[in-house]
Structure 1
Amino acid sequence: MKFRYDLILCLSVVLLAGCQSTSTDPATMFPTASEAQLFKDGQNAMLDGKYDQSVQYFETLEARYPFGQYTEQAHLDMIYSYYKNDDTSSALAAADEYIHLYPREKNVDYAYYMRGMMEYDQNHGSIERYFGMDFAERDLASVRQAFSDFNRLLHYFPNSQYAPDTRQRMIYIRNMLARHELKIANYYFDHQAYVAAANRANDIVKHYQASRSVPDALNVMVKSYRALNLDAQAESALKVLKANYPGYK
């Protein structure tokens, strides 16, 4: 019985030590390091791909020198370090905090861009890429948020260095969202919910005009209106389809 008591006591000490190590106050880490040294060490760790270490340096710098010379850049680097360390929630929080603290700084476009990237990547995990999952069949809440973040970036900073990549990603997202809506429209049609199918397809034509799903959406409208004996509406949708997509079959 004494052996078991000693074992339990030993395990308790180990667990307590573990709890203490994970709750370390960033302000107390690296006690002899100056602001410049923390920033340099953080950037070196980041460049070496040691993102867990770079986060520690940047967190310490921000806690100890909240109004320091390197604080703003450290916060930007911390966003990236969290992102590369697969800590999405912390990266999103850091991006939001930067936008709140530095709304007029020249680098705030980066925070918007990274925020969009993180929301975008939540629907583009490596497992899905390798196994070929159709993203249009997933819950696209994070993709819609990414589109919103990218749209804000282009609205506020149309000449940002991140604008070209952002526009390309928005085109991809727009096609994905349109394809998602088209799947729903086809589902409604297959289940003879023709009014819902026509309305959903009409939304695609209205809101995703540049997407590749528009001709298929027009076709769903034609079929749905015919099923509802709405010949005038069916003919109107067919004319639009033939005029804009003459080779559609």
Structure 2
Amino acid sequence: MRLTPRTRKASAALVAALGLGLGGCDFDPTGLFAEKYKPEIIENTPADKLYSEGLAKIEDSDYEAAVKKFDSLDKQYAYSDWSRKALLMTAYSNYQGQKYDDAINASKRYLQRHPASKDAAYAQYLMAMSQYKQIPDVTRDQERSEKALVALQELVQRYPTSEYAADAKAKIQITRDQLAGKEMEVGRFYLEKRSFPAAINRFRDVVAKYQTTRHAEEALMRLTEAYMALGITGEAQNSAAVLGHNFPDSPWYKDAHALLATGGLEPREEKSSFLSKVYRSVLGKTASAE
């Protein structure tokens, strides 16, 4: 049968719709596509060559290109030791390139695949540092700070003797200070609005969770202030006494003492109080650590 122009167009449309001919199939009912499909065999690049090329890209600070090299290595040599090395270097390259979420994902994959590896501690460190580097200022939501704290604590707990544990401990304290600062900011806001119960809850959280941070002294003073405003003088005296007992040279204690004096009161600690128990617990842990 002779194909008219209209028939040729219809046949071509049918071939396209079915994925025939255009995809390189040998079957060509219309005779419209003379070129035949020739399968291309791509040989794997030697693993050591790909790895060296990735390292060279890191040396040139071309981290995006390094990631591509290591990704290719991981895919071409899946389930090999080269794949393990490539995945770790992918995490490292993303971290250096400040693509922190990609670094976190690569580190997680490494830990899932190779939890007992000698480099597992480093993968955990890269993940923790990628969270840590994204900690925002204290006026913003602190979800990143909370994630960083969890990742850093996991590093210390799982790999306490690793070379990264000391740095993780220092950054844990910084991250805790950040979280305490956020609680203080919210507590001061409530205090200014004279929402004293809400303010008290925030300041108590600082003392309960972050008593070893630099914000604890102010939190105890602000508790004294809020309790005085509510007329709960016993709690105000106790807050000031705990502050003075644990931070006797603090300027915040001087302020708390002066505030009590305006009502003819003196600091008086109640040993069974929540605040006293918190600091006795802290002192006990410190003594055990020593």
TM-score range, shorter chain: 0.7 to 0.9
Match of 2:165 among 163, 166, 188: 163
**3-state SS of 1:119 partner:** helix
Amino acid at match of 2:186: I
CA distance in 1, matches of 2:96, 2:183: 32
Aligned residue number for residue 24 of structure 1: none
Match of 2:52 among 28, 36, 40: 40
What's the Cα RMSD here? 1.6
CA distance in 2, matches of 1:187, 1:81: 42
Within a 5 Å distance, the mapping from 1:49-128 to structure 2 comes to: 49-123=61-135
Within a 5 Å distance, the mapping from 1:195-234 to structure 2 comes to: 195-234=197-236
Amino acid at match of 1:110: Y
Amino acid at match of 2:133: D
Deviation at 1:177, TM superposition (A): 1.0
Normalising by structure 1, report the TM-score.
Answer: 0.81
Structure 2 gap segments, 5+ residues each: 1-39, 252-290
CA distance in 2, matches of 1:68, 1:193: 61
Amino acid at match of 1:54: A
Deviation at 1:119, TM superposition (A): 1.1
CA distance in 2, matches of 1:69, 1:34: 14
The higher relative CO (CA closer than 8 Å, separation ≥ 6) is in 1
Deviation at 1:31, TM superposition (A): 4.5
Match of 2:182 among 180, 183, 190: 180
Aligned residue number for residue 129 of structure 1: none
Deviation at 1:32, TM superposition (A): 5.1
Deviation at 1:226, TM superposition (A): 0.9
CA distance in 2, matches of 1:206, 1:64: 52
CA distance in 1, matches of 2:165, 2:153: 10
Instruction: Flag the structure with larger Rg.
Output: 2
Deviation at 1:168, TM superposition (A): 1.1
CA distance in 2, matches of 1:240, 1:89: 43
Aligned residue number for residue 247 of structure 1: 249
**3-state SS of 1:58 partner:** helix
The answer on whether the counterparts of 1:185 and 1:201 sit within 8 Å (CA) in structure 2 is yes
CA distance in 1, matches of 2:176, 2:229: 29
- Post-superposition Cα deviations, 1:199-225, rounded to whole Å, max 9, x if no partner, equal 110111111111000010001110111
**3-state SS of 1:136 partner:** coil
CA distance in 1, matches of 2:179, 2:45: 49
Q: Indicate the structure with greater helix content.
A: 1
**3-state SS of 1:66 partner:** coil
CA distance in 2, matches of 1:174, 1:77: 30
CA distance in 2, matches of 1:224, 1:89: 41
CA distance in 2, matches of 1:85, 1:247: 45
- Report the identity percentage: 27
Normalising by structure 2, report the TM-score.
Answer: 0.70
CA distance in 1, matches of 2:223, 2:101: 41
Amino acid at match of 2:187: A
Structure 1 gap segments, 5+ residues each: 1-27, 125-134
- Post-superposition Cα deviations, 1:166-188, rounded to whole Å, max 9, x if no partner, equal 11111111111111111111111
CA distance in 1, matches of 2:130, 2:102: 11
